[in-house]
Copies of this chain bind each other. A is one copy, B any other.
Amino acid sequence: MVRQERAVRTREALIRSAAEVFHHEGFTAASLTLISSRAGVSNGALHFHFASKAVLADAVESAAAGVLQTITGPRGPRAPSTLQRLVDATHELARHLQQDVVLRAGFELSGEACRAARTDLRLRWHAWVTAMVDRAARHGELRENVAQEGVAAAVVAATVGFEVLGTRDEVWLSRRTVSQFWLLLLPTLASHSFLGCLEAEGSAPR
């Protein structure tokens, strides 16, 4: 293996290992020795790539932000309407949180009391949801008199709740839980002409 390629793989292994240890033990308690040994590298190699635990946490957050970007970015799930895209993205987020420890640790680091998050994923998610709700309103997808900021807040609060509760019990991240939330919310949210076309279970195969 070329040296540069090996360095990239080591870095990725360390980020994944750090995410696992942060997730299980929290940022403060996480031991760098455990992180390097789980990644199969020496402590020296860890310090070659990351000057401190804080720098390693920044790298986990940054990798998690990349995953969030694939869910919310232009290459995210395609959907026939903006509201459907929002519904689909919440399902995608829940699915990735179940499967991807880097994403999960990235979100958890946003709430760490001891750390000033450089990339607050919950804030990024909130900004994206707000933009989607605004776009849905401009496209006539929302009922009249619906408070847009209230819609974004409800969606973000519920998804952050699923994320936090899902750490102890994965049923909170199931398709069923997310769908039931949308079944309750969509009828007061979506304009009459759009409501019939919306799928609370998500429009993408899962």
Complex Cα distance, B185 from A185, in Å, reads 6
A116-169 interface with B by 8 A CB criterion: 120, 122, 146-147, 149-151, 153-154, 156-162, 164-165, 167-168
Are the C-beta atoms of A165 and B156 separated by less than 8 Å? yes
**A165 contacts across to B, CB distance below 8 A:** 122, 156-157, 160
Complex Cα distance, B53 from A29, in Å, reads 14
- The reply on A114 being an interface residue by CB < 8 A is yes
- The reply on A2 being an interface residue by CB < 8 A is no
Complex Cα distance, B153 from A158, in Å, reads 9
Are the C-beta atoms of B161 and A113 separated by less than 8 Å? no
Interface stretch among A33-41, A54-62, A74-82, A176-184?
A176-184
Q: For A181, give its contact among B23, B27, B112, B157 (CB under 8 Å).
A: B157
**A154 contacts across to B, CB distance below 8 A:** 158, 180-181, 184-185
Interface SS of A by simple majority: helix
Copies in the complex: 2
Known: A28-B28, A158-B157. A180 touches B113 (CB 8 A): no
- The reply on A49 being an interface residue by CB < 8 A is no
Candidate in A153, A168, A188 with the most chain B CB atoms within 10 angstroms: A153
Are the C-beta atoms of A185 and B183 separated by less than 8 Å? no
**A66 contacts across to B, CB distance below 8 A:** none
A5-26 interface with B by 8 A CB criterion: 23-26
Are the C-beta atoms of A184 and B181 separated by less than 8 Å? no
Q: How far is the CB of A105 from chain B (nearest CB, A)?
A: 10
Are the C-beta atoms of B153 and A111 separated by less than 8 Å? no
Complex Cα distance, B120 from A160, in Å, reads 18
A-B CB proximity, top 4 nearest: A150-B180, A157-B161, A161-B161, A160-B161
Q: Interface residues, chain A, CB within 8 Å of chain B?
A: 23-29, 108, 111-114, 120, 122, 146-147, 149-151, 153-154, 156-162, 164-165, 167-168, 172, 177, 180-181, 183-185, 187-189
